[in-house]
A and B are shown apart, each in its own frame.
Chain A
Amino acid sequence: MKIVVCIKQVPATGADKRYTDDLRLDRSGVEAIINPLDEYAIEQALRLVDSGGADAVTYLSMGPEQAAEALRRALAMGGDDAVLVTDPALVGADEWATAVVLAAALDKLAPDIALMGMASDDARGSLVPGAVAAKRGLPLLSYGAELAITDGAARIRRLSATGFDWIEAPLPVVATVTDQVGEPRYASLKGIMAAKRKPLETWSLEDIGVDAGTLRGGALTRVTDSRPPEDKPPTERIENVAAAEAATRVADWLAARKLI
């Protein structure tokens, strides 16, 4: 039972972030971390190994060479090996291009479960998993609060409008999990030391059989402008007044905006 966890290296939450002059995300000089929501996917995969449901975990990432750091951090949490797909043609790749590349790499790795977090901190589109499943012709089990393996199938527990459902599909599948799987483990010191010795391979587009030409320069979309958000008017504050007075002032504020 082999699991591949797809992870993305993103700028640290709250770090000073900008776009470069050619309107790509400036990743230089910014502290990079594993996309926090991917850590839940890592944790879910490692829990399946702990419980004996899975026996091999590989990490897969697409990104610049620096993304190998994120893969090492993941290996420090557990898992067996990692693959980084990196290629100059992938600079500025959008979600579609990411899906094309990950799908090809996953076809080569052929796991029983391709597991991802539910969204990435920077792009927040959440489109990659579904697009990858479509490209690979596999079922998608998405937004799982829990992932379980049964005989030849995988199932996730997903919140519904009125409670929760268990959704099941025969292997192989593409799956995504939410933060409800549980707190991701910290990398232990021995884990960090062992990670340095675990295999980490680098693949180019050629290695996964993707012709750079079909990637249309790495994206079907392009950013044409970037700017800081409009200045908001400063926050109005109500403080140092009794509750009744505060309530009156808030009600006045709401009324002035026709909200009541």
Chain B
Amino acid sequence: MSNDILFLAEFAVGRPARSALELATGAAEFAAASGGTAVGLAYGAGATGGAAALGAHGAKHVVVLGDEDRPAITFAGAAAAAVGASAALALLAPATPNGRDLAAALVGLLDLPAFGPVRAARVVDGVVETEQATLQGSVITTARPVDGAPTPSVVLVLPNTFTPAEGGTGTAEVTTGADVGGSPFGKAKVVESHEADARVANLDEANVIVAGGRGVGGEEGFALLRDLAEVLGGAVGASRAAADAGWIAYQLQIGQTGKVVKPQLYIGAGISGAIQHKVGMQTAEHVVAINRDPDAPIGEFADLYVVGDLFQIVPALTEEIRRRKGGA
């Protein structure tokens, strides 16, 4: 067994996903502690071209599993071959639908211990130790692989757990993964693709999220949230109620059945904070809530709770921030 730390590096439309950069950073941190190196497993459109640049974020070596635009899990065969050959200590995977699927396939193919999504992880006595918030955040558990468990340990990592540094240098050594031929996963193919009219922001990549719920009342209300998000340099998200009502695209739904996000700043307007939404954003660094109801559940876990009319407060806040930033 080596002390290397593997990480999944997802590429799409010719660029690395933010998770690829974050996990490269995280893997490099662990590798420094474990005495190994960070090794990326790159897949998706643009993987071949972009793999070397992952070295700027700490990857020493990147194995390219494939360059096609197809579901992440279809790279599982190639990934398993690369993982099997590496004898690494840990494999970091993004806690996104794609990342989970590919991680899950590896767990099944190679009988690997799996953890996640974690709020913290470290290498202790040569094994991975993780911390997770379970039972809707009511209990924090610490976990490790059992003695003699196969390696690597698969660790699901939430977005924004690691922060990629700007301006790093270095290139990674790039090799091509073994061609493992058709795997059962490859039988799943995209047969129809429908683009939405407007581009939808990727919430995983947002540092600031302004989210709206039932209290926002409609698309006009969301326009106010968009203004606030823009002045803060962030993205707009929503609770399931707002998505179900058709005020906003489903890709922007945060919660148990939507995205799990971990921004620096989360502002929830007109959101009650029911558990199904809470589990999608409770690990945000700073939580601000604006609600007409003085007793909404979100008030129990927000850092700052503003009781009032969001239709007045949100525009006023947008104005105030704009003023402080010194622009029109």
Contacts and interface: CB of A to CB of B under 8 A. Distances in A.
Determine direct contact between A and B, CB below 8 Å. yes
B257 interface: yes
Contacts of A95: 107, 114
A90 B308 CA distance: 51
Q: Select the residue from A127, A128, A239 with max chain B CB neighbours within 10 A.
A: A127
Contact of B321 (A139, A239, A246, A251): A251
A199 to B, nearest CB: 29
B196 A130 contact: no
A220 B147 CA distance: 8
Interface stretch (B49-57, B59-67, B130-138, B215-223): B130-138
B260 to A, nearest CB: 9
Interface string A162-174: 1111111110010
A80 B107 CA distance: 32
A164 B146 contact: no
A248 interface: yes
Contacts of A25: 135
Contacts of A189: none
A236 B190 CA distance: 48
A166 to B, nearest CB: 4
B89 interface: no
Interface stretch (A43-51, A62-70, A71-79, A224-232): A224-232
Interface stretch (B1-9, B23-31, B97-105, B166-174): B97-105
B76 to A, nearest CB: 7
Contacts of B108: 99, 103, 130-135
Interface residues of A, number: 92
B104 A126 contact: yes
- Interface size on B, as a range, is 35 or more
Nearest to B93: A127
Given A125-B117, A163-B195, A235-B300, A217 B146 contact: yes
Interface in A17-67: 17-19, 23, 25, 37
A140 interface: yes
A161 B300 CA distance: 32
B175 interface: no
Given A236-B304, A250-B306, A37 B139 contact: no
Contacts of A233: 303
Q: Select the residue from A100, A178, A260 with max chain B CB neighbours within 10 A.
A: A260
Contacts of B192: 165-166
Interface stretch (A81-89, A104-112, A114-122, A204-212): A114-122
Contacts of A235: 299-305
Given A17-B135, A243-B308, A125 B100 contact: yes
Contacts of B240: 179
- Main secondary structure, interface of A, reads mixed
Nearest to A255: B324
Contacts of A103: 108
A239 B319 CA distance: 19
Given A127-B103, A179-B257, A226 B308 contact: no
A257 interface: yes
B36 interface: no
Nearest to A40: B257
A221 B145 contact: yes
Given A37-B256, A127-B103, A232-B301, A162 B196 contact: yes
A226 B185 contact: no
Contacts of A169: 187-189
Contacts of A14: 136, 275
A222 interface: yes
B191 A168 contact: yes
A118 B303 CA distance: 30
Nearest to A100: B111
B214 interface: no
B114 A94 contact: yes
B38 interface: no
B190 A165 contact: yes
Contact of A125 (B116, B184, B185, B303): B116
Given A137-B184, A159-B251, A221 B115 contact: yes
B113 A96 contact: yes
A134 B80 CA distance: 11
Contacts of B154: 127
B288 interface: yes
B309 to A, nearest CB: 7
Contacts of A99: 104, 107-108
Nearest to B307: A239
Contacts of B149: 216, 220-221
A180 interface: yes
B193 A141 contact: no
16 contacts: A124-B134, A124-B279, A128-B104, A130-B105, A131-B104, A140-B73, A162-B200, A167-B188, A168-B188, A168-B191, A220-B111, A229-B133, A232-B303, A243-B312, A243-B316, A251-B321
